[in-house]
């Protein structure tokens, strides 16, 4: 009985861990946002970079 | 804010400012219609003419082939969907090639022709037109590989600078066009007639999809229409379907279906009926319709023998074989 009661008692460090977890999550999102919001654009090539004779599977 | 109506194809997209048409590449910028892919092809290759397929046009010659992103049809079985069902900004890579450079490079590579192909060149109309005009002036032919979903007026103008076309006539059934391609049949038939009127060399491809458009009655109706409206000398290619894109649940077209289609079209009176996408099939070669002499033997895209005379006649009976042979 005594052991069960002890488990239900609030851990004094839990609030702090929760706060740090939240802070870490917000920080991670903040760091990732600049990378996630980059617009992907096609790579622009000049004809000098083209291999006209390589095998391809386009029809027509 | 003014919307513009694109009058290029039968969709007649009304495009709001900053928006794009159904093809993804024709946009309204400041109230003016622009093609975002002008001078920006995403695919460039040198192919044999037989790959287009054009069997009666400069056989065996290399053709400088280009395509941009975008298409005005949305075929469930699209073989080039990575290119056609995307806008230019979605491509992995694009080349910057203005028409004068295109002509220069095609010539440097020894190509007598330029093909506008792979996706549907209808959606890069202005690029095709400007390039074709320069190519013609430089003695280079222009071939248009298309589903011909285009209005008559712009097509007629384009035909003045084109030399040949292979038109993908997807089925002789409007319901099929609506269900599988997101289009309609009649504009394609109108476009074929317009091309014939304008004197283009035309060949037709009909990709046979098992259970969808391989009904013998439909094939016969298609062949009869081609004979009556375009002429019995119009080459017709029955092409083998491979499971692709959103039609992966179907098997490839069987040889039996292709042979049956070829017989239907031949019985309907067409004189040059081919089978494509089947390596080594006898229907990949050209025979004299009068005496059966083998005129051009092919294995895949490659010519194994060419027995035509210099002026395009059967060496046995001297019948003139229609086409552009020089």
Rounded-to-integer distance, Cα A7 and Cα A1, Å:
10
Any domain includes B321: no
Q: Give the strand pairing for B286-287 and B294-299.
A: antiparallel
Nearest to B312 by CA among B58, B3, B118: B58
B141: three-class secondary structure by DSSP: strand
Q: Which residue of B has its CA nearest to A58?
A: B80
Any domain includes B239: yes
> Which residue of A40, A41, A42 to mutate against B (max B Cβ within 10 Å)?
A42
Rounded-to-integer distance, Cα A43 and Cα B289, Å:
50
A-chain CB neighbours of B115 within 8 Å are 60
As a whole-number percent, the residues of chain B with pLDDT over 70 amount to 100
User: pLDDT band for position A48 (50/70/90)?
Assistant: confident
Residue B283 is predicted with a pLDDT of 97
Any domain includes B316: no
Size of interface A-B (CB pairs under 8 A): 59
Residue A12 is predicted with a pLDDT of 72
A5 pLDDT more than 70: no
What's B123's domain CATH number?
3.20.20.70
Q: Based on the structure, what is the number of domains in chain B?
A: 1
Inter-chain residue contact B67 with A58, CB threshold 8 Å? yes
Give the nearest partner residue to B80 out of A43, A49, A59, using CB atoms: A59
HSE toward the beta carbon, residue B176, CA cutoff 13 A: 19
A-chain CB neighbours of B83 within 8 Å are 58
Strands (E), A1-60: 43-45
Any CB–CB contact under 8 A between A38 and chain B? Answer: no
Name the residue range of residue B45's domain.
37-306
Residue B296 is predicted with a pLDDT of 98
> Which residue of A43, A45, A50, A59 to mutate against B (max B Cβ within 10 Å)?
A59
Inter-chain residue contact A52 with B64, CB threshold 8 Å? yes
Q: Which residues contact A7 (CB under 8 A, 6 or more apart)?
A: none
DSSP string, B31-77: TEEEETTTT--SEEEEEEGGGTT-SSBSTT-EEEEEE-S--S---TT
Residue A7 is predicted with a pLDDT of 57
Give per-residue pLDDT as tens, B143-181.
Answer: 999 999 999 999 999 999 999 999 999 999 999 999 999
Rounded-to-integer distance, Cα A13 and Cα B286, Å:
86
Give per-residue pLDDT as tens, B8-26.
Answer: 999 999 999 999 999 999 9
Inter-chain residue contact A58 with B94, CB threshold 8 Å? no
HSE toward the beta carbon, residue A45, CA cutoff 13 A: 16
Any domain includes B158: yes
Any domain includes B318: no
| CB crowding A6-25: b at 16 or more within 10 Å, else e | eeeeeeeeeeeeeeeeeeee
Contact indicator for B312, B321 with CB cutoff of 8 Å: yes
Q: Which residue of B has its CA nearest to A56?
A: B45
Any CB–CB contact under 8 A between A45 and chain B? Answer: yes
CA–CA min distance A30, chain B (Å): 26
Q: Give the strand pairing for B286-287 and B26-29.
A: unpaired
Any CB–CB contact under 8 A between A31 and chain B? Answer: no
Average pLDDT over residues B107-117: 97
Distances (CA, A) of B148 to B2, B77, B121, B210, B257: 29, 17, 9, 23, 25
CA–CA min distance B130, chain A (Å): 19
Any domain includes B108: yes
Any CB–CB contact under 8 A between B247 and chain A? Answer: no
Nearest to B291 by CA among B316, B274, B308: B316
Any domain includes B30: no
Nearest to B170 by CA among B107, B62, B77: B77
B238: three-class secondary structure by DSSP: strand
User: pLDDT band for position A49 (50/70/90)?
Assistant: confident
Any CB–CB contact under 8 A between B117 and chain A? Answer: yes
Q: What is the CA radius of gyration of chain B?
A: 19
Rounded-to-integer distance, Cα B273 and Cα B246, Å:
29
User: pLDDT band for position B137 (50/70/90)?
Assistant: very high
> Which residue of B44, B67, B168, B209 to mutate against A (max A Cβ within 10 Å)?
B44
B293 pLDDT more than 90: yes
Sheet (strand B294-299) strand order: B286-287, B294-299, B302-306
Give per-residue pLDDT as tens, B190-231.
Answer: 999 999 999 999 999 999 999 999 999 999 999 999 999 999
User: pLDDT band for position A41 (50/70/90)?
Assistant: confident
B118 pLDDT more than 60: yes
Query: B residues 26-65 near A, CB within 8 Å?
Result: 42-46, 51-52, 64
Furthest CA-CA distance within chain B: 68
Mean of all residue pLDDT scores within chain B? 97
CA–CA min distance A38, chain B (Å): 14
What's the complex ipTM?
Answer: 0.91
Give per-residue pLDDT as tens, B249-269.
Answer: 999 999 999 999 999 999 999
């Amino acid at each position: 009985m005594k052991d069960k009661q002890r488990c239900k008692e609030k851990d004094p460090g839990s609030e702090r861990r929760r706060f740090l977890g939240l802070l870490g999550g917000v920080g991670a999102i903040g760091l990732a946002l600049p990378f996630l919001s980059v617009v992907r654009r096609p790579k622009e090539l000049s004809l000098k970079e083209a291999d006209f004779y390589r095998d391809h599977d386009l029809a027509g | 804010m003014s919307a513009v109506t694109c009058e290029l194809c039968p969709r007649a997209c009304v495009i709001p400012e900053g928006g794009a048409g159904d093809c993804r590449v024709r946009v309204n910028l400041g109230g003016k219609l622009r093609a975002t892919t002008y001078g920006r092809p995403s695919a460039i290759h040198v192919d044999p003419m037989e790959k287009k397929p054009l069997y009666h046009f400069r056989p065996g010659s290399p053709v400088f082939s280009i395509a941009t992103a975008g298409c005005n049809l949305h075929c469930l079985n699209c073989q080039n969907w990575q290119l056609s069902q995307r806008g230019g900004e979605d491509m992995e890579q694009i080349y910057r090639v203005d028409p004068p450079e295109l002509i220069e490079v095609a010539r440097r590579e020894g190509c007598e022709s330029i093909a506008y192909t792979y996706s549907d060149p209808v959606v890069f109309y202005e690029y095709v037109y400007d390039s074709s005009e320069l190519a013609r002036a430089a003695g280079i032919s222009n071939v248009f590989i298309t589903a011909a979903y285009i209005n008559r007026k712009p097509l007629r103008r384009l035909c003045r600078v084109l030399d040949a076309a292979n038109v993908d006539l997807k089925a002789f059934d409007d319901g099929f066009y609506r269900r599988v391609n997101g289009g309609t049949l009649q504009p394609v038939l109108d476009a074929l007639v317009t091309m014939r009127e304008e004197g283009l060399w035309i060949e037709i491809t009909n990709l046979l999809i098992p259970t969808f458009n391989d009904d013998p009655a439909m094939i016969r109706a298609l062949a009869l229409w081609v004979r009556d409206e375009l002429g019995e000398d119009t080459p017709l290619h029955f092409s083998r379907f491979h499971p692709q894109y959103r039609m992966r649940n179907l098997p490839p077209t069987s040889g039996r279906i292709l042979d049956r289609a070829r017989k239907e079209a031949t019985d309907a009176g067409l004189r040059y009926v081919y089978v494509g996408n089947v390596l080594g099939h006898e229907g990949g070669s050209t025979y004299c319709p009068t005496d059966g002499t083998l005129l051009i033997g092919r294995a895949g895209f490659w010519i194994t023998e060419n027995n035509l005379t210099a002026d395009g006649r059967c060496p046995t009976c001297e019948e003139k074989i229609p086409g552009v042979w020089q």
